[in-house]
A and B are shown apart, each in its own frame.
Chain A
Amino acid sequence: MFGLDKKDTTLLIVVALMVLLAPFILNPFPEGSAMAQFNAGYPDLMQRFVIFGIFAIGFNILFGLTGYLSFGHAAFLGVGSYSAVWMFKLLSMNIIPAIVLSILVSGIFAAVIGFVSLRRSGIYFSILTLAFAQMSYNLAYSVLTPITNGETGLQLSLNDPRILGSSATADGSIPVTSLFGLEMRAAEQIQIGPWAFQFSVGFYTCAIIMLIAFYLSIRIFRSPFGLMLRAVKSNQQRMNYTGLNTRPYTLTAFIISGMYAGLAGGLLACMDPLAGAERMQWTASGEVVLMTILGGAGTLIGPVLGAGFIKYFENIFSKINESTLDGWFSFLPDGLQHAVVWVADHFVGSGWHLTLGILFMLVVIFLPGGLVEGGQRIYAWISGSKRKAKAAETKTEPAE
């Protein structure tokens, strides 16, 4: 179906179901129960899952296929956000033109940065992209204040000259983003027994765009173009002596992944119309690298899993605080409870990075193929010892 073989079609359908049913899947615990804080089924967080999923899918087209490790992809995320907010300010609150501009502008940015950075490979390429991203960050933070509104960040205001649309609503507030009148923040809550499930326009808009982005990435992976990108990673020398010019291949991959990042940045602004320089910071660039490696670089689904994993930790673990821990360990004797809580406290709340760091190390050391390899091993283990032996021998397929 859709020009995919059976295996890929199945994968696409499974991912589509998981994403579209996410409001249920991510809300397994009844409201008000002790476990309810582990629920992730609220629109704001689910939007982040899919938007960063798009970011990571795009990053994987560059890193997973060609092996070029960019440390500056957050620059494109930021550029996408700024472009979208400007579109809201100047043209219309409709998200379509905003998204189109985000993709275009980040694509142009990627063409320029890629053209220069791809003259080098390996660590030098990574450093060049990092340098470019930090330059973009600093420009956004101070020099280009008229465009980016510097430290404060770019926001909508009541006197934006919106050409198609009004500067303010009838009741004097700033209009909200919409898709042909369908407001992004509009949401519906369905109560089933003790469970409350939330469905928002914003999430489903992002989800459908993510599924399209995912589908396109499968097509790229399976195409002759994708094969050439994998050849770049494998042996550039052989490519050159086979009559292939590697430079345009890597540059195209760089631009495509920059456009994915721009799309993600644009969507962030569509959900919440503001853009700040911190979105371009090197930590944000590093995050997408972690997502991709954690999930499984070079695999189709890995980056999406990695993005979900990291965003879940960031949002759920960071909310656990000392009093929550006190509650969990209240069954322990007093002295011991204090000790356990004191230790555990360093791994939750603002210490969630510590937990994530440890998990990341464990995955990289024991599952070099990321979460996807973990999944494959479990699958092999379940489906009998014959297959188990095989899975241990063969390494992770590069394009699963």
Chain B
Amino acid sequence: MGILDVKNVSKRFGGLKALSDVNLSVKENTVHAIIGPNGAGKSTLLNCLVGKLIPDTGSVMFDGQSVLGRAPYEINQMGISRVFQTPEIFGDLTVFENMMIPIFAKRDGSFRMHAYETVASEAEMVEQAEKMLIDMNMIDKRHMHAASMSRGDKRRLEIGMCLSQQPRLLLLDEPTAGMARADTNNTIDLLRQIKAERDITIAIIEHDMHVVFSLADRITVLAQGTPLVEDEPQNIRGNPKVREAYLGESA
């Protein structure tokens, strides 16, 4: 039993079977990579975990509790944070304000009419946000409008926002896509460092094999909506089935 258990999940879009009978178990405090060719159903699977989609069949258990039928904000409050394939940040707000929101959400829950204090006077929260920005190497951009940043920076901000919530399970959908090499390495280092410092489970979808093999403890290969193999990284590299379905194609 892992912290996340996906059992027999299927999802259809009209005639297209995006997921068929997916079984996946992610062990606590590991990094589990999900790889596979475009259109394999990787993002669809994540959508089923965070309440964006409801699977047609099957069950999704997080820490022994079903997430199905819960609203996205409830699932997040259970301890699952997600980074999207296309960055989802608060474009109209500054980088600093972006970072404050998940920190408030973590402390105050899904709703609080908190109008007595000013944002600036919440010293402890401000400190947390600044620390995260320093860790992300973004503190010099704190006053920037988030929308005006590069795609790579938006992505890093989103990762920082999710990490600042100290989730138990972090879902990353192609977190380094669109990042410069230096930022990619930076992100790998950050994730490793977070991993070493605290208890966190990470499920990561990634096309960049450098990232996958740098981080993953375990890899699931998804093709046409079904898991092909699940194994340790060194075994995946040499697996002929995987080469055929995925690595061969992209190489």
If over half of A's interface residues share one DSSP class (helix, strand or loop), that class is named, otherwise mixed; here it is helix
Assembly CA distance A352 to B121 (angstroms): 47
Would you call A240 an interface residue if the criterion is a C-beta within 8 Å of the partner chain's C-beta atoms? Answer: yes
Q: Knowing A222-B118, A235-B88, A238-B88 are in contact, say whether A244-B111 is a contact too (CB < 8 A).
A: yes
> Given the complex, which residues of B lie within 8 Å of A243, measured CB to CB?
73, 76-77, 102, 105-106, 109-110, 165
B92 adjacent to A245 (CB under 8 Å) = no
The A281-320 residues at the B interface (CB cut-off 8 A) are none
The answer to the question of A377 belonging to the interface, with a C-beta cut-off of 8 Å to chain B, is no
Instruction: Identify which of B50, B110, B116, B122 gathers the most chain A CB atoms within 10 Å of its CB.
Output: B110
Number of A positions contacting B (CB below 8 A): 30
Tell yes or no: B115 within 8 A of A by CB.
yes
B79-122 interface code vs A (CB 8 A; 1 in, 0 out): 00110100011111100010011101110111111111111111
CA distance A227 to B93 in the complex (A): 9
Q: How far is the CB of A300 from chain B (nearest CB, A)?
A: 13
A245 touches B71 (CB 8 A): yes
Closest B residue to A222 using CB positions: B118
Contacts of B165 in A (CB 8 A): 242-243
B72 within 8 A of A: yes
Q: Does A180 lie at the interface of the complex (its beta carbon under 8 Å from any beta carbon of B)?
A: no
> Cβ of B97: which chain A residues have Cβ within 8 Å of it?
227, 230
A346 to chain B, nearest CB (A): 40
B161 at interface, CB cutoff 8 A: yes
Which B residues are in CB contact (< 8 Å) with A240? 71-73, 76
Q: Which residues from 14 to 45 on chain B have a C-beta closer than 8 Å to any C-beta of chain A?
A: none
Q: Is A185 an interface residue (CB 8 A)?
A: no
Closest to A233 in B: B92
Q: Note all chain A residues with C-beta closer than 8 A to B50.
A: 241
Question: A200 CA to B177 CA in the complex, in Å?
Answer: 66
The contact of B115 among A5, A226, A242, A248, by CB within 8 Å, is A226
One of B73, B93, B112, B114 near A230 (C-beta < 8 A) = B93
Closest to A67 in B: B92
Question: With a CB–CB cut-off of 8 A, which chain A residues contact B93?
Answer: 227, 230-231, 234, 398
Inter-subunit contact A228/B101 (CB<8 Å): yes
A224 close to B (CB within 8 Å) = yes
B84: chain A residues at CB < 8 Å are: 241
User: Shortest distance in angstroms between A298's beta carbon and chain B's nearest beta carbon?
Assistant: 9
Most buried by B among A235, A240, A242: A242
| Known contacts A220-B115, A243-B165; is-contact A228 B90 (Cβ 8 Å) | no
Q: Which residue of A lies closest to B125 (CB)?
A: A224
Q: Does A252 contact B (CB under 8 A)?
A: yes
1/0 per position for A202-232, CB-CB distance to B under 8 A?
0000000000000000011011111110110
Please report the C-alpha to C-alpha distance between residue A219 and residue B112 in the assembled complex, in whole angstroms. Answer: 15
CB distance from B74 to the nearest CB of A (A): 8
A230 and B104 within 8 A (CB): no
Query: Whole-angstrom distance from the CB of B170 to the nearest CB of chain A?
Result: 12
Knowing A227-B104, A243-B73, A244-B110 touch, does A238 contact B116 (C-beta < 8 A)? Answer: no
Q: Please judge, given known A-B contacts A233-B92, A241-B76, whether A228 and B104 are in contact too, CB under 8 Å.
A: yes
Binary CB contact string for chain B from 117 to 146 against chain A (1 if under 8 A, 0 otherwise): 111111000000000000000000000000
Contact status B117-A224, CB under 8 Å: yes
Residues of B within 8 A of A224 (CB): 100, 104, 108, 112, 114-115, 117, 119, 122
Which residues on B are within 8 Å of A, measured CB to CB? 50, 71-73, 76-77, 81-82, 84, 88-93, 97, 100-102, 104-106, 108-122, 161, 165
The 6 closest A-B pairs by CB, nearest first: A243-B76, A234-B90, A245-B110, A234-B92, A223-B115, A248-B111
17 A–B contacts, CB within 8 A, in A order: A3-B118, A3-B121, A5-B120, A219-B115, A222-B120, A223-B117, A223-B118, A224-B112, A224-B115, A227-B93, A227-B119, A231-B90, A243-B73, A243-B77, A243-B105, A244-B105, A248-B110
